[in-house]
Amino acid sequence: MKIDKLVVASHNAGKIKEIGQLLAPYHIEVLSAGDLNLPDVEETGVTFQENAALKAEQLSALSGLPCLADDSGLCVDALNGRPGVYSARYAEKTLSDGEVVRDFNQAMERLVGELKETGNPDWSAHFSCVLAFKMPQEECRFFEGRVNGKIVAERSGDKGFGFDPIFMPDGFDKTFANFTAEEKSAISHRGRAFALFIKEVFETE
């Protein structure tokens, strides 16, 4: 079945843009959940795969379209793998009017503060991403990518999103927030998961 349109189970503009760039060579129209007025899916899973599957299955059923969902996060060794699947929620704060927003500047400050409190000099970390791809009437397929690195105390760079300004991948002397979109996609957890996804779904047809 030829795929010319798919919905991405996210309202995150940075993530939608990144995915759109990755799929651009395949001439696929990428729609966000917001474009179709689809709801956020509550992430009740305890693993990246469980959360990705929840989103892909629900939004494919609601839209009738192929759906691509991911769950990804930053896992820090000295914090016993936190924030992990709770990476987005880690950045949440409640405003005075009760609205809940995500503030990654606050989240990065919190993360670095917690690492300093451990007294552990090893700030090794990795980003993980699991993609779930759901075609109507088919089972979910999963693709996983990971990139190892470390947390740095001082934020650097203005590209990317989330925890990118404090994550330095192994083999580089700059954080993800200093990478161009193309550079980041070539080595990132999401880029690696996408390479597997594209190879299986588009290059084996």
User: Which residues have a catalytic role annotated?
Assistant: 71
Distance CA 105, CA 118 (A): 20
Element housing 149 (H / E):
strand 141-151
Query: Quick one: DSSP state of residue 133?
Result: E
Element housing 89 (H / E):
helix 87-90
Distance CA 126, CA 16 (A): 22
Give the position of tokens 């993360």: 111
Distance CA 193, CA 73 (A): 13
Task: Tell me the one-letter amino acid at 12.
Answer: N
